[in-house]
Amino acid sequence: MSAGTLWTTPTSGEGKAFRAVAAYGGVKIDIPTDYKHYEDNKKPEFLTQFPLGKIPAFKGTDGFVLTETFAISRYIASLAPNSTLLGSSPKEAALIDQWLSFSITEIRTSLRTIYALIKGVYPYNKNIHTAMVDSQIRAFKVLSEHLQTQTFLVGERPSLADFMLAGVLSSTFAMTFDAALRQQFPNIVRYYETVTGHPSVKDIFGATEYIEKAVQFVPPKKEEKPKQEKPKKEEKKPAPKKKEEDEEEEEESYEEPKAKNPLDLLPKSTFNLEDWKRFYSNNEVRGPGGSLEWFYNNFDKEGFSIWRVDYKYGKELTETFMSSNLIRGFFTRLEGSRKYLFGYLCVLGVKNDSLISGVFICRGKDIMPVVEVAPDWESYDFKPIDLESALDKTFFEQAMAEELELEGKKWADGKSFK
């Protein structure tokens, strides 16, 4: 009997991982073969069950609905009888979750950003592209060192973490993990071929076509305008010619339309975000004439909104400097929303006992159009801040002044997005 239906695409790395987990664990799941992404996920019947219209999406035969990669993968693994997919002890389970998060946060997130830059989803920025490549290589170094003495990520048999990482790597091998990296990290190639070569999942992953050179951004070619013969003097008719010129201008403007961000269509606001960023950078936060006083005197609550931001996986944080790097990476991936956003995120606590929390000030009343440019936005919770609430106002001011303290954890470091 089927456990449910999984909506994904044949080339999705996560989709391959889910199918592999099910196959290895002996769990039957249905995959709609006629699903068309960007079409079916916009239909009312899909959005009724999955309001964000995203895949992967799962619906059990009992009507149980799930979204998000982490949740779906764990649920399918939990249905597998007598398997080691989720570990055989609390420590193994925690390590599996650690490597799951590593695969998604450290490798997949960078890969998605690179893909979006190369394909023109985001305006191409060489510095961001380079930063994402460097981020991936740091992750590959950590992974390769771990695999130096390990066949699988956790224990002696494949786990959920192995199939998820294999799914992510299958996408990576097709875009960024080229011949030079294969030579540098042979342990990763060996590991991937071991996991995907298991008889129960071999057909799901199929043969891997390794690329020789990482895919690079190619600027679009400018279309050459066809040369038009000048009309003879005696044939020139002023009125019709003016009309033709107007039509030609219309056609040229239509060829390269500039897509407007919906946030640019909002009514003009009296609050200038760039002025706020400059004032915050150059003045004390508290006290007369401080940036908080300026903010309260100028803030437009109709044109902007304030949000509390919390990193979901605080238990997985280790070194505080690594948490700072995580914030820096998130901010890098938010580059496309810089004109609509100001943020300050804090690292609170000490090594192996810390969390990330802070504040975003964004254009409009909805946070999603601003943060969804960053593929890892799902790793954070966003909650509206109401300055009429004493608790919310205190949180906002403490975050801005680097005085935030939560759950007994004091401010250790912070990064601003401005």
Q: Where are the domains of the chain?
A: 4-78, 90-205, 273-417
* DSSP code of residue 30: B
User: Cα separation of 242 and 244, whole Å?
Assistant: 5
Computed over every residue of the chain, the mean pLDDT equals 87
pLDDT reported for residue 319: 85
In 277-324 the beta strands, taken as DSSP E runs, fall at 304-311
367, 305 in Cβ contact below 8 A? Answer: yes
- Using DSSP's 3-state secondary structure scheme, residue 131 falls into helix
Asked whether residue 347 carries a pLDDT value surpassing 90, the answer given is yes
Least confident of 79-88, 141-150, 306-315, 399-408: 79-88
Question: Residue 250 has what pLDDT?
Answer: 34
Quick one: pLDDT at residue 258? 42
d(CA 299, CA 292): 10
Rounded CA Rg of the chain: 26
Residues of the chain above pLDDT 90, percent: 58
Q: What pLDDT digit, counting tens, does each position of 188-247 carry?
A: 999 999 999 999 999 999 888 889 999 888 887 766 656 666 555 555 555 544 444 343
Alpha-carbon span 14 to 74, nearest angstrom: 12
CATH class of the structural domain 273-417: alpha beta
Round to whole Å and give the CA distance between 313 and 377. 12
Percent of the chain whose predicted confidence (pLDDT) is above 70: 90
Q: What type of residue is 383?
A: K
CA distance 418 to 230: 52
Query: At 20, is the pLDDT very low, low, confident or very high (cuts 50, 70, 90)?
Result: very high
Q: What is the pLDDT of residue 145?
A: 94
Give the pLDDT confidence score for residue 242 in this predicted structure: 43
Peptide bond into 56 cis (omega under 30): yes
Per-residue pLDDT, 257: 43
Other Cβ atoms less than 10 A from the Cβ of 417: the count is 21
Q: Look at residue 229 in the predicted model and tell me its pLDDT.
A: 60
Tell me the average pLDDT across 325-346.
89
Query: pLDDT value at position 236?
Result: 52
Distance CA 175, CA 56 (A): 21
Q: What angle do CA 68, 73, 79 make, to 5 degrees?
A: 130
pLDDT higher than 70, residue 177: yes
Using CA atoms, how far residue 399 sits from 81, 353, 363, 393, in Å, is 47, 19, 19, 10
pLDDT score of 239? 52
Structural contact between residues 308 and 383, judged by C-beta atoms closer than 8 angstroms: yes
Q: Is the pTM of this model over 0.75?
A: no
* Mean per-residue pLDDT, 292-311: 94
pLDDT given at position 168: 94
Exposed, middle or buried: residue 249 (CB in 10 Å: 0-12, 13-18, 19+)? exposed
Tell me which CATH homologous superfamily contains domain 4-78: Glutaredoxin (3.40.30.10)
Poorest-pLDDT segment among 144-153, 239-248, 409-418: 239-248
Q: Does this chain's domain 90-205 share its CATH topology with 273-417?
A: no
12: left (phi over 0), alpha (psi -120 to 50) or beta: beta
Contacts of 370 (CB under 8 A, 6+ apart): 263, 334, 337, 340, 341, 360, 362, 363, 364
Laid out side by side, the sheet with 409-417 consists of 380-384, 304-311, 353-363, 341-350, 409-417, 405-406
Among the residue ranges 261-265, 266-270, 339-343, the one predicted with the least confidence is 261-265
> Which CATH class name applies to 90-205?
mainly alpha
The b-or-e profile of 328-341 (16+ CB within 10 A means b, else e) is ebbbbbbbbbbebb
Distance of alpha carbon 74 from alpha carbon 307, whole angstroms: 30
pLDDT at 234: 55
Most confident of the ranges 79-93, 223-237, 258-272, 303-317: 303-317
